[in-house]
Chain A
């Protein structure tokens, strides 16, 4: 399946084509050959555009030079052979509808770049929407569907960046939570009544003051199923958070914070960039222990490098603080004393209001005045933050824009959550099937269809560019 023109002469070729090969392969050997890369990309995205040039509005294509030769590639017999469907559609669509094609091209998600990057907040809204939906059900099938939807979107839209690799860690964490929940249910028993005894563990006799606590004893299928559902719910929530983490750059999310919170945001970003450094330091210092003839494995070795690692981290943070200071971090504008006082009063009062309002809302007694207090508090806090932002002279470089695609992504998450909440009123039994008596879970069709809305981001969010390493590999080989 390599459209590499490996055997020149076996296929007829136009003069122009041969010329372009000769020139490009002579002057820039690398870009001339790797037609496979763009050709493959076109094929994978399933375009049926007659002219590749039209469908490729990607100025930052991995191969910049040979655009001309790529375009000619559509007529290159070798390339045609490599992707017959595309070619067939090419020739069929050659004459008609030069106007319809760009529209289809436009509907396709663009290649992701700095300029069209989806707002990090949109991803978080989507993920929190999925998590809300998951929190409303214990139906194992629905939960599995949530995980599958989130997983598909992550697979389709995550980049190669370091934070995107954290998704696997979240998946494992979810599994660990599930296992722990099951182990506890087996060891400590379950409040669920059950008739299907799976196994009876030896029970540990406990003193009388520990009545009500049981270690060991009967393990029922009902109890295990209940624990499984419960654990799966928690795991699904974690997976949703992990998906947001993998899809949105946390540093970019913090950049969208209001000015007054900027400094807190920087602290978080710096801490996040420090974590990898610390890991590298530990590895380096453990290696150095080996050079001194001490064991480099085991817990003791890890503990003994603790102090040097902390020392190193401290030194690095001092150096970073010096660098940040000399780069203008913390420059503030002069603000009248009155405004400063107003800021403090509004922020403090607002936060108090938020706390009081939330408490009133959650407790049974104060339902009436809870909401107004919460709203007033929220308003005051926001005003305080806006005023506080005046002290900061900062501007923002290329902030993420909240465009149509961000609305679609965030909206799909909100819709999933709303539909699931609506379904709780409509068919509670299907969403929350009882563990006793045991029943096989059924897939309620309407809520499941609602969850599928969460797939929308996999089609509308800008697609990440293929990994540069993966792109360079075949290109190099083709050049050889």
Chain B
């Protein structure tokens, strides 16, 4: 089945290329999303169905990342059924075909990156995600989308090239052991040169940190997330960043096995706090609600880096946060797609009285905001609570205070925007336009967000035993 999940998108791409039909585009994307999810389910019910593969595998270390990708992709594919109908009115069939093909290649690359058990192979797939998603960011072909895509490709390519330098340095660290397989690296980590391990981690962290959106190498992220079509923004934020993070996490595990983790922890803490700081400062000035969501992604990636650095109880928080952020942020970005369809603008100032125009979108907007800002019972409340506890257990009181302060500033910045957008005084001109556009929002553009938010809030109060086990195993495996 693992081979199938990697081969099928290529076959689907060929079919789409020859038929150029919008309905077929949606059917094949949804079909692939269903197959993708079924592999995740098979892992729990019938693991023998997954089969053996030399370079790819589904195990305790990557199953959470895979499941998150499956759920978000399924939600995006359902949303895309309604969204692409609106796009198809503006763009020719050929362009819609390319859009669908690139989505399949993008998800294929992310899947390959998550499933690969070899650092070199994971790096190749991460590079593949850049190639596929660049087209999707550039999809609208406006001056701004070209700018965003250019920055994305150029900055991420430099980042990925630096990560490659890190991989070369890691091969120096490994000495006589000639492998990039994660398990082999972890098993032999004790014999590695600590000096070269530390140097290679710096390059890998900065390189893949660029892709993950960690400050100070995050510059592409707000532009790319805001210019891409909303389903793509959801995929970029909720799944692509996780893929890059998984590779960093695997290299970090090698550092852990080599007992050479103090330097790596310091680096992660610095980049994590810097990401929170950047979000707190820039979120306050942004005038574009999609950029606001992009900055929130930088913040949450920073929280993941901090949780990794803290260790102990924060490891559990890390996986909870990763799942919660992906579900809620995907929902937030998809809902932003509804807002954009209604008001035809990304300017915060132009959007008021959302609650009077489309109650369902307004509620989704508020629920996503409450979820991302860690209001209980959101999963993020649990994770952030545990991270604070980890700070206190390790007696990092000043860092804990700084963490809480920066989170509060971010919460205030987002609350200000969300409340104004939903309850602010209406402008007649925009009000009429949005009322007219409400027909563009089909049912499939609400259901995925409701499902993901429900899941994120339920998991905030009750984590089933099987999920608890895989969360705990993710960092041990």
Q: Does A associate with B in a complex?
A: no
Show the binding face of A for B, using Cβ within 8 Å: none
